[in-house]
Each structure stands twice: as C-alpha cells, then as structure tokens.
Structure 1
Amino acid sequence: MASNRGIAYLEPGKTEVQDIPYPEFELKDGPGVNPDNVGRPVPHGAILKVVTTNICGSDQHMVRGRTTAPQDLILGHEITGEVIETGPGVEFIKEGDICSVPFNIACGRCRNCKERATGICLNVNPDRPGSAYGYVDMGGWVGGQAEYVLVPYADWNLLKFPDRDQALAKIMGLTMLSDIFPTGFHGAVSAGTEVGSTVYVAGAGPVGLAAAASAQLLGAAVVIVGDLNEERLAQARSFGCETVDVSKGPVPDQLEQILGLPEVDCGVDAVGFEARGHGEQASTEQPAAVLNSLMDVTRAGGGLGIPGLYVTGDPGAATDAAKEGSLSIRLGLGWAKSHYFVTGQCPVMKYHRGLMQAILHDKVDIATAVNATKVSLDEAPQAYQDFDSGVAKKYVIDPHGMVS
C-alpha cells in the first residue's frame, strides 16, 4: 500500500507534517471522526492524488486554538487532485481526471442537495447539516492537505476540468474553485452586487480579495476593501479596488471621501468572528464589529453577504456569550434599514462551473488577485505561521511538485 503524509494540527500555533494512513473506501476512526461515521463504507468515492491544496483562513481559526479541534486532526478542505482510483459505485468520473473538490461534502441525494443547498447536506455529518474535509465538528472526513485524499460521492462532488494540460497550466487559479473564489463570489452575489453597484468588502484576506474580484466580475462600479493591514490593502489596490484603513477613522467618513456618500449599495463580511474594532478600538477583538459597521454603511434596502466564518464554539473568546457565538449585533439598525442578510457556508457547486469557465477563458485572474504563492508540503507549517502574521498571500501547497 502506498504511503501518505498530511498536515496535522498539534496545539495552538503549531502544525506538523505527519505520516498518515493511505485512503481506503471506508471512513476509519481518527481525530475528529464522529463515532456514527466510523466504518462508513464509501463505494461511491474516489481516491485523489492531490495536485494542489490551499491554506484557508478557516484552517487558521483552528490552528490559533479558536475552535474545539482535536490534536492530530488532518487539515485541509481546499483540494484539487488527479483521480487515481474509483470505488465500484462510481460511474462517470475516471482515473486520470483532474478535478476540483468543493469543500462542502454533499451526498446529492437529500432534500437540501436537490435544492442546490450543498453547504447543508443532511446525510454526511451526524452532528449537524453540512460537512467539510479536515474540519472540526464536520463529520471527520480526513483533510486534503496531504498527498492523497478520499472524496465521497465522487460523481456528484467532483468538477472535472475539460482538458488536463490546460488545467495544469492554469492550476494556480483553478485551485481557488474549491472554496475561496466561490465563497467570495457568493458573498458578492448574496449582497446584491450587480452592474453599477458600489460595494464595500470588509476584510482584505484571501476571501475578501476574492469577493472584491468577484464584485468586479459582476460589474460593480466601485469596489472598496477595508482592513487594518496595509500590505493586504495594497494587494486590493493592485487590481483596481479602493481601500479604507478602518483603524484611521470612521468607515462612513472614508467612504464619503471616495464616493461622495457615506454608504454603499452592498456590504460583504469577509472577516467573521475574530473581527476587531474600528478606529481607536482597532487593537481590541470585537466579534460583532464588522457586522455592525456593515449595517451602518449599507444603504436602506441593501443586502449583506456574510461569507466570513462564525462559530457556535469559540474557547478563546473574551466573553461567555461570544464563546457560544452570541454577539451584540445591532439588529434594530438592520431592521430599521430593511436590510437582508445571507449567511452560512457557500454552496460551492452552485457557482464553480461558471467560475471555472471564467478562469479558463481569461475573464478573471483570481490567482493574481489573491497573490497565490506555492509552497511544498514540508514548507506548509512555516506557511501557516507566515499567513497568521498577516502576509498578503494565499498559500497553495504542491505536495507532488506538479505545479510548474
């Protein structure tokens, strides 16, 4: 049997490369695996040789110790790979196919999947609707920051690229289809972005940059990105965004300097529960700060897309309420302005084929927008530390040296 290696979470601030079991067509017991999933047969699955797998800000929440992730959990839900073996129940996906793997694990059979809500599949996670690879409380499906990974329901989940050589040539963009590009796009779409919109994206991390690029793709007139990190703001400006430094004064005032108005049509929260305050409070963690700011600056009748992660368990939170995801949100303000909110996991399959076409036909350069940066599997623990320091890079792990 072939060997396998993967990136494991050890303790807050620390990951390491470990020897891990080679995938089989059965979910085995291990760190984070729900007992009801142990022994689950996967005849509908495929084993992939990982071509690329990315470090995500959601991974970073776990590595910082801000979730209940167990020691030795194998990380990684952003996966692109080559099919090297299929189970007896796989009919259409073939060995040799290069495919994008949506981070949502979905069965394709339940009510939610049939209604395109693949982020809340009812059948893959005994804990709650919705599942993902290598993530806490998501059923225990082994993560893909590894050399090889098992993908269940392969015919349903895998997006096959039409041409192998073309896919490998554009892999640094296509690797973003597993999560952050559809997630950013979902944030922009669900906020109501359309031709001529003014859009404010809170957060200049990779998801925020992907949301900004998505807003441009959707025809926004002006895209403004807010953050505390000047390096990340510079990255947003590099592809035509306006920016505001939220530590340097009220966001409405800065928007008015750009637009002539202190508000925008659409707001996107690409930060989530580790948000910090604005202005003089920028050094203090305030998990509701971004949501409240977005309600303040989004016009009456506008929408808020919220792809930023919020959790039900945060042991590192400053208050007991925040530890269970209870935040001091100014819902009255949102109600008074007739805002609508769209939250939750992005249903990747709703968007990824169209975004694949945009990449393949050079309608968007998402790899450049998020500053995609290749590292080896052995370099990944250091990349986690660098990413946590705030560098304006999206780290792409290349376990087999397949990225030119």
Structure 2
Amino acid sequence: MKAIICKEPNKVTVEEVADPKIEHPGDAIIRLTSSGICESDIHMYQGRTVAKPGKVLGHEPVGVIEEVGSAVTSFKKEDRVVVTFNVACGHCMNCVRGFTSACLTVNPEIVGGAFGYAKWEYILPLGQLWEKGLTIGTGQTPVKKTILMLRDMIIAGIARPSFIVSHRISIEDAPAAYREFSQRADGYTKVVIKF
C-alpha cells in the first residue's frame, strides 16, 4: 500500500509500505478512503515535534474497517470510521469520563495523545499571570466527546465544515501539497487526500 513518509524536516515522500497487521488485541486495520493535511501535520513536516524520520503521516483519516483485534467490541468489519487527531485507550479514568485528549496510557512518558506522540514545551510567565489575577485554560479538545453531535449536525445540514477544505488531491500529490501548505501558498487551509 502507499503511504506518506516523513523523511526529514521539510521532506515527505510517497512510498510503498507493508500492509498493516493486527499486533495487539485492541488494534483495528482501516482501509483509508481519505486523510488530511492541516497545521498539525505542518509541525511534524517542519521538524517541530518528536516525530522521527520514517513516520507515516496522515491527519484525521476516514476509512472502512477491514479487520479488528479480539478485544475490539465497539467496531466491526465494514464500519465506516473517522480517526480523530488525538489518540486514546478508551478505558483509563480520563477516557471513561470523556476526556480522551488527556488519556493516561497512550503516552505514559508525556501528557496527552495528540498525533499519538506529541510533545510541546512552553515557558509561561506564571508570576505575571498571578499578579494580574488572570487564569488560563489549557489542553487538547476532547473531540471524541462531541464528534457524534458534530456528525449529526453535518447530516442534518446544520454544520457545513467542508468550507474549510481548500484543496482536494491524490496521494501522489502529497509531497507538493505539504511543501505548499508549509509555505502558506495558494490559500492552503485544509487539504483532503483521496485514496
């Protein structure tokens, strides 16, 4: 199968890779029908995350389940699914409470599960915030908590998120699209890759 591979900062290629296999009871194999490129991917593309060379890229993919592991009970073969940008185990204390963006097990060495391996470091002037009585909220959006409501709004015609899609491309055009998006060329906002 073809995949978009991060080779080094500012370079991706489309390569043939081995078909995935079920390795753990909680795994699922999804035949992708589309995927995306958005700002989160550009962080990886530009080398600003801990993504290592050889990482397969793809953001918020949509597809059809081909196979599930023995522990998967919520999905079955031929279900159509979307994979959110943050990954989660689904069974830790935070996931059970709906805060999948703060999964305790997906990345035990760091906080959160954006892209499955994100690591961000910021220095905040906490003293200045305290002196001014300011508060801040942080964290990733728990998208899995609201995705069904959003899906229903899209089906009902209440929400129309497709307006943000600026380009629709084939996987062969992905390297050029990553470069153009990174350079903010031609109004790139969200790219959909069709497989």
Q: Could you say which TM-score interval applies, normalised by the shorter chain?
A: 0.7 to 0.9
Q: Helix, strand or coil for the counterpart of 2:15?
A: strand
Task: Please say if residues 112 and 122 of structure 1, whose CA atoms lie closer than 8 Å, have aligned partners that are also in contact.
Answer: yes
Residue 311 in structure 1 maps to residue 120 in structure 2:
yes
Deviations along 1:144-187, one digit per CA (max 9) or x if unpaired, are xxxxxxxxxxxxxxxxxxxxxxxxxxxxxxxxxxxxxxxxxxxx
What is the Cα deviation at residue 396 of structure 1? 0.5
Task: Please say if residues 122 and 128 of structure 1, whose CA atoms lie closer than 8 Å, have aligned partners that are also in contact.
Answer: no
Q: Distance in 2 between matches of 1:5 and 1:334?
A: 51
What is the Cα deviation at residue 75 of structure 1? 1.4
Matching residue of 2:8: 11
Task: Please say if residues 165 and 192 of structure 2, whose CA atoms lie closer than 8 Å, have aligned partners that are also in contact.
Answer: no
Matching residue of 2:157: 362
Q: Helix, strand or coil for the counterpart of 1:340?
A: coil
Task: Please say if residues 77 and 132 of structure 1, whose CA atoms lie closer than 8 Å, have aligned partners that are also in contact.
Answer: no
Q: Cα distance 1:68–1:110, how it changes in 2: closer, same or farther (>3 A)?
A: closer
What is the Cα deviation at residue 14 of structure 1? 0.8
User: Within 5 A, what are the aligned runs for 1:50-69?
Assistant: 50-69=32-51
Structure 2: which amino acid aligns with 1:7?
A: I
Matching residue of 1:350: 145
Deviations along 1:338-383, one digit per CA (max 9) or x if unpaired, are 4432212211111111111111111121111x13421111111111
Matching residue of 1:396: 192
Q: Distance in 1 between matches of 2:51 and 2:19?
A: 22
Higher mean Cα deviation, 390-399 or 121-130? 121-130
In structure 1, runs of 5+ residues without a counterpart are 27-41, 139-309, 313-324, 400-404
Deviations along 1:181-207, one digit per CA (max 9) or x if unpaired, are xxxxxxxxxxxxxxxxxxxxxxxxxxx
Matching residue of 1:378: 172
Matching residue of 2:79: 97
Q: Distance in 2 between matches of 1:108 and 1:12?
A: 32
Q: Given the two structures, how large is their TM-score scaled by the length of structure 2? A: 0.88
Larger Rg: 1
What is the Cα deviation at residue 333 of structure 1? 5.5
Structure 1: which amino acid aligns with 2:12?
A: T
Q: Distance in 1 between matches of 2:55 and 2:190?
A: 22
Task: Please say if residues 59 and 76 of structure 1, whose CA atoms lie closer than 8 Å, have aligned partners that are also in contact.
Answer: yes
What is the Cα deviation at residue 334 of structure 1? 7.2
Q: Cα distance 1:367–1:110, how it changes in 2: closer, same or farther (>3 A)?
A: same
Q: Distance in 2 between matches of 1:372 and 1:114?
A: 35
Q: Cα distance 1:69–1:340, how it changes in 2: closer, same or farther (>3 A)?
A: same
Q: Cα distance 1:106–1:23, how it changes in 2: closer, same or farther (>3 A)?
A: same
Matching residue of 1:130: 112
Q: Helix, strand or coil for the counterpart of 1:58?
A: helix
Q: Distance in 1 between matches of 2:78 and 2:96?
A: 28
Structure 2: which amino acid aligns with 1:355?
A: L
Residue 326 in structure 1 maps to residue 123 in structure 2:
yes
Q: Helix, strand or coil for the counterpart of 1:351?
A: helix
Structure 2: which amino acid aligns with 1:72?
A: G
Task: Please say if residues 15 and 381 of structure 1, whose CA atoms lie closer than 8 Å, have aligned partners that are also in contact.
Answer: yes
Deviations along 1:284-306, one digit per CA (max 9) or x if unpaired, are xxxxxxxxxxxxxxxxxxxxxxx
Task: Please say if residues 107 and 124 of structure 1, whose CA atoms lie closer than 8 Å, have aligned partners that are also in contact.
Answer: yes
Task: Please say if residues 129 and 135 of structure 2, whose CA atoms lie closer than 8 Å, have aligned partners that are also in contact.
Answer: no
Q: Helix, strand or coil for the counterpart of 1:379?
A: helix
User: Within 5 A, what are the aligned runs for 1:221-300?
Assistant: none
Q: Percent identity?
A: 34
Q: Distance in 1 between matches of 2:136 and 2:30?
A: 37
Matching residue of 1:213: none
Q: Distance in 2 between matches of 1:73 and 1:5?
A: 13
What is the Cα deviation at residue 21 of structure 1? 2.2
In structure 2, runs of 5+ residues without a counterpart are none
The structure whose RCO (Cα within 8 Å, separation 6+) is larger is 2
Q: Distance in 2 between matches of 1:117 and 1:128?
A: 16
Task: Please say if residues 105 and 131 of structure 1, whose CA atoms lie closer than 8 Å, have aligned partners that are also in contact.
Answer: yes
Structure 2: which amino acid aligns with 1:61?
A: H
